[in-house]
Amino acid sequence: LLHLFAYHFLYETGEATEIEFSLPGEGAVRRVDPATGELRAPGAVRHEGGRTLLRVTLSPGEAALFTVDRASAPEALEAPAVTTLAELTDWRIAVESWDAGEPELIVEDRGLGYETRELRPTTAVTKLESPSRALAPWKDLEGVGPDVSGVGEYVASFAVSAADIDGGRLVLDLGSTSGGLGSVRVNGSEPRGFDTSRPVVDVTDLVRDGANDLVVRVSSSLNNRLIARGYYDAIPDIGLMLANRQGVHQTVVRDYGLQGPVRLHRVG
């Protein structure tokens, strides 16, 4: 077996990159899901001069793992056809705004003539429901705004026919989650995570003929809330200090949340 790990590190481009790898020997190629170990079709494969040529498209930050079984007969493969079955544009959006809560006083007396007291920090979570039905960064969402960090929940539905979902893998492409971690649930399933650099989820076994319900949850960093609280105003900039200059840490309001476009594809 020959294993190939590929990683697209050119974040600055913002565009997917297509590349062809030339691997020694000939054999059957499979792409390995690093989260589940599932094997699936790798993309376009051809063989030439005793080598295996694998053509791959990767988004910025995306990683991929491939295995070449040189003990098996080589297979020439075309890149699988991709058909868009649905694009989800109508959403119910709510964001849990996370902020510092009131500290909790904990008093402990073990009967030894003294007592200990400590303050335990808490988190205040406020649910903000947006009247908007279209995806946008939280800072631009009505009812949310630039001061919010936390977790967003997005609810939508879509319909497919039995013919639509027959004969291929079903893949939910979230487009962009602004780099946030999250999960997907279809028809009340257990949550499934995704690669934040390429947020795509295999939902083949979850989608059914007819109407389907989708819930996407996406988290954020605390940056925007910390800006609103003035947290960075007292944090010295280490880079400036190393250059014998003075100043506080500078940051800007970030895009958070599911931005899409969200599409259901049939692959193969």
Report cis status (omega within 30 of 0) of the bond before 199.
no
Cis peptide bond N-terminal to 80, omega within 30: no
pLDDT tens for 196-248 read: 989 999 999 999 999 999 999 999 999 999 999 999 998 999 888 898 898 88
Span 62-112, pLDDT tens digits: 999 999 999 999 988 888 899 999 999 999 999 999 999 999 999 999 999
Total Cβ atoms within 10 A of residue 50: 8
Burial of 143 (0-12, 13-18, 19+ CB in 10 A): middle
Question: 151 pLDDT exceeds 90?
Answer: yes
Average pLDDT over residues 48-71: 93
Cα separation, 16 vs 262, in Å, equals: 17
Q: Which tokens go with 239?
A: 């880079």
Strand partners, 257: none
**Residue 167 pLDDT > 90:** no
User: 2-79: which CATH topology?
Assistant: Immunoglobulin-like (2.60.40)
- What does the domain layout of the chain look like in residue ranges? 2-79, 86-222+255-267
Q: Which residue shows structure tokens 């989608």? A: 207
Q: Is the pTM of this model over 0.75?
A: yes
Q: What is the pLDDT of residue 216?
A: 99
Give the mean pLDDT of the chain: 94
Structure-token pair, residue 148: 């919010």
With CA atoms as reference, report the closest residue to 146 among 77, 229, 88: 229
Query: What average pLDDT score do residues 123-127 get?
Result: 97
Task: Report pLDDT digits (tens) over 132-147.
Answer: 999 999 999 999 999 9
Q: Residues 66, 77: contact at Cβ < 8 Å?
A: no
How distant, in Å, are the alpha carbons of 11, 17, 107 from that of 14?
Answer: 6, 9, 53
Residue-level pLDDT at 250: 87
The CATH number assigned to the domain with range 86-222+255-267 reads: 2.60.120
For residue 43, the model assigns a pLDDT of: 86
DSSP-assigned states of every residue in 85-117:
EEEE---EEEEEEEEE-PPEEEEEE-SSS-EEE
